[in-house]
């Protein structure tokens, strides 16, 4: 088993505004970002506040924020013969991402290097695709499979501060100095009261979705490798043949040495050139004739690979 994740089968507007035209611009931003909050009974300024809360903290790419895995540079330092990343990664919305997905992709020449997963509000397919592509470029991935699934809907309440500005009062002063026949005077004074703050509870409904994305790099067959995905043999096999050696084949890269030798998923390879093999240790072939001892449905078979 390789150290890299693509050999492992298991394994993302806060200010208050007063004018309606600003609210409308924000509403378009919400639509472009693909969020789908349902806010009940709100005036434009109230909805603006709720949208601000939903979007706050969303400046970071969630595919990047929740990514766990390697980069192209990490893998290229140890894995031979990897083509350069595509300039424009392929991003595909998948109907199903199962534990078998990385194995199928491996067979077709795509090595899994990591994944992103999180839960959050709805994002449109267009926005999700763009964000996934941005992260793929960042880590050097050439292919992305992603999907989202509805999880739940829940009602909540946000308390919005409502500020009533202070009032300014003007007082005009008139009179005379010195009594009757004195000198007349007049003046103006201003008095301003403090702003008053109250809070209004705003009901909102939020739809939550689970997101997952798998990131792949292009891989090609290597001359002295089997290019297979493996796991440890089942305990029943070890007990029957009294051995801790062996590796169970999960997938074989098309065009690779194992694929051309008709080594199939489910086969358990025990020896190569009379040497025991283990699923978690590197396996190399030699130039010339290579003898592969394996078991298929508990039947011993010999495969030959000539390089």
Q: What is the pLDDT of residue 3?
A: 38
For the ranges 35-39, 92-96, 146-150, 168-172, the lowest mean pLDDT is seen at 35-39
Query: Structure tokens of 59?
Result: 């400046």
pLDDT value of position 305: 96
- Distance in angstroms (rounded) separating the CA atoms of residues 283 and 239: 23
> Per-residue pLDDT for 171 more than 60?
yes
In percent, how much of the chain has pLDDT > 90? 57
What's the pLDDT score for residue 86?
A: 96
Helix/strand/coil (H/E/C) assignment for every residue in the chain: CCCCHHHCCCCCCCCCCCCHHHHHHHHHHHHHHCCCCEECCCCHHHHHHHHHHHHCCCCCCHHHHCEEECCHHHHHCCCCCCCCCCCCCEEEECCCCCCCHHHHHHHCCEEEEEEEEEEEECCCHHHHHHHHHHHHHHHCCCEEEEEEEEEEEEEEEEEEEEEECCCEEEEEEEEEECCCCCEEEEEEEEEECCCEEEEEEEEEEEEEEEEEEEEEEECCCCCCCCCEEEECCCHHHHHHHCCCCEEEEEEECCCCHHHHCCCCCCCEEEEECCEECECCCCCCCCCCEEEEEEEECCEEEEEEEEC
Beta bridge partners of 211: 118, 148
Q: How confident is the model over 266-289, as a mean pLDDT?
A: 94
Q: Indicate whether 19 pLDDT > 80.
A: no
Does the structure show a pLDDT above 70 at 54?
A: no
Among the listed residues 2, 146, 126, the one whose alpha carbon sits nearest the alpha carbon of residue 66: 146
Residue 33 has pLDDT above 60, yes or no: no
Average pLDDT over residues 82-99: 95
Q: Tens digit of pLDDT for each residue in 135-167?
A: 999 999 999 999 999 999 988 888 888 888 888
Mean pLDDT across the chain, nearest whole number? 81
Among residues 218, 219, 225, the alpha carbon closest in space to that of 282 is found at 225
166 or 14: which leads in pLDDT = 166
pLDDT reported for residue 31: 39
CA–CA distance, 63 with 135 (Å, rounded to integer) = 6
* pLDDT tens-place string over residues 234-262: 999 999 999 999 999 999 999 999 999 99
Say whether pLDDT at 89 is over 80: yes
The mean-pLDDT minimum among 97-101, 167-171, 265-269, 286-290 falls in: 167-171
Say whether pLDDT at 84 is over 90: yes
Q: What are the residue boundaries of the structural domains of the chain, listed by start?
A: 5-158+200-218, 163-195, 228-306
For range 4-20, the mean pLDDT: 37
pLDDT digits (tens, 9 = 90+) for 91-134: 999 999 999 999 999 999 999 999 999 999 888 899 999 999 99
pLDDT of residue 180: 66
Q: What is the token pair recorded at 143?
A: 């292919």
Give the C-alpha distances (Å, rounded to integers) separating 119 from 123, 133, 148, 155: 11, 19, 9, 16
202 backbone dihedrals φ, ψ, rounded to 5°:
-110, 120
- Classify domain 228-306 at the CATH class level: mainly beta
Specify whether the CB–CB gap between 9 and 99 falls below 8 A. Answer: yes
């Amino acid at each position: 088993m390789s150290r890299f994740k693509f050999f492992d089968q298991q394994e993302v507007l806060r200010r208050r505004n007063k004018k309606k035209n600003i609210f409308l611009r924000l509403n378009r931003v919400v639509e472009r970002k693909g969020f789908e909050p349902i806010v009940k009974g709100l005036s434009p300024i109230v909805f603006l506040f709720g949208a601000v809360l939903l979007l706050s903290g969303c400046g970071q790419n969630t595919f990047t924020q929740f990514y766990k895995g390697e980069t192209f540079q990490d893998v290229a330092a140890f894995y031979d013969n990897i083509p350069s990343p595509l300039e424009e990664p392929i991003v595909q919305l998948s109907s199903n991402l199962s534990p078998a997905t990385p194995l199928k992709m491996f067979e077709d020449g795509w090595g899994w290097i990591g994944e992103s997963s999180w839960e959050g509000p709805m994002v449109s397919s267009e926005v999700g695709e763009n964000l996934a592509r941005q992260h793929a470029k960042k880590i050097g991935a050439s292919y992305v499979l992603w999907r989202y699934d509805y999880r739940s809907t829940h009602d909540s309440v946000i308390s919005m501060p409502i500020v009533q500005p202070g009032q300014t009062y003007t007082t005009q002063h008139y009179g005379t100095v010195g009594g009757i026949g004195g000198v007349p005077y007049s003046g103006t004074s201003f008095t301003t009261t403090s702003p008053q703050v109250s809070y209004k509870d705003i009901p909102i409904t939020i739809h939550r979705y689970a997101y997952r994305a798998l990131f792949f790099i292009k891989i090609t067959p290597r001359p002295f490798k089997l290019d297979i995905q493996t796991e440890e043999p089942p305990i029943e096999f070890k007990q029957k043949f009294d051995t801790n050696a062996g590796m169970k084949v999960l997938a074989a890269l098309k065009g690779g040495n194992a694929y051309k030798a008709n080594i199939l998923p489910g086969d358990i390879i025990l020896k190569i050139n009379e040497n025991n093999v283990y699923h978690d240790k590197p396996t190399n072939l030699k130039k010339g004739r290579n003898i592969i001892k394996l078991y298929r449905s508990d039947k011993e078979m010999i495969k030959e690979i000539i390089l």
